[in-house]
Amino acid sequence: ITVQPETVGKPYELKIFAGTQLVDTQNVTDNRAVLIANPDITKLQLRVVGDQIPEAFTVAQNYPNPFNPVTEIRYALPNAADVQVVVYNALGQQIKTLVSTKQEAGNHTVVWDATDANGAAVSSGLYFYRVKAGAKIAVRKMLLMR
């Protein structure tokens, strides 16, 4: 997909859905190609967001929390950065990598469906998500209740 904004330099938000589930949010400016390699994508939503580039790296608490069966993790990047969003169990074992790519400045959302790296459902309990953007790192707790 290539997004060609009507006004050069004006940011747009591209929301990517699989069924009714929000899979990812990408912030797009100018003529930048967005590669979507997920065959389950069913809907794209594009809107103008104005000049809403965050001033600081922030990671919000996941919502909902506690959750079942899915939760959204939101974070803001003041600059483009290599981003990793990883879920860990209470023992500190890595469960799943949700994001591992360079992302543009802006607000981002990723959805975790309470599955591990193999797609198997994980059990109820306490989990942590770690968001790393460049040299900045934030960790938050989340509770899965099946």
Which of 51, 68, 91 is the last residue in one of the domains? 51
Span 25-40, pLDDT tens digits: 887 776 666 777 778 8
- 128, 131, 136, 137: CA torsion to nearest 10: 10
What's the mean per-residue pLDDT of the chain?
89
Looking at residue 6, its pLDDT comes to 56
Looking at residue 50, its pLDDT comes to 60
Same domain, 39 and 71: no
Tell me which residue range forms the domain holding 98: 53-146
What total number of domains does the chain contain? 2
Span 54-81, pLDDT tens digits: 999 999 999 999 999 999 999 999 999 9
Looking at residue 44, its pLDDT comes to 83
Cβ pair 90, 123 in contact under 8 A: no
Which of 10, 33, 51 is the last residue in one of the domains? 51
CATH number for position 134 = 2.60.40.1930
Alpha carbon separation from 67 to 88, 103, 145 (Å, rounded): 16, 26, 6
Looking at residue 57, its pLDDT comes to 98
Same domain, 142 and 87: yes
Span 80-134, pLDDT tens digits: 999 999 999 999 999 999 999 999 999 999 999 999 999 999 999 999 999 999 9
Looking at residue 127, its pLDDT comes to 99
pLDDT at 140 over 60: yes
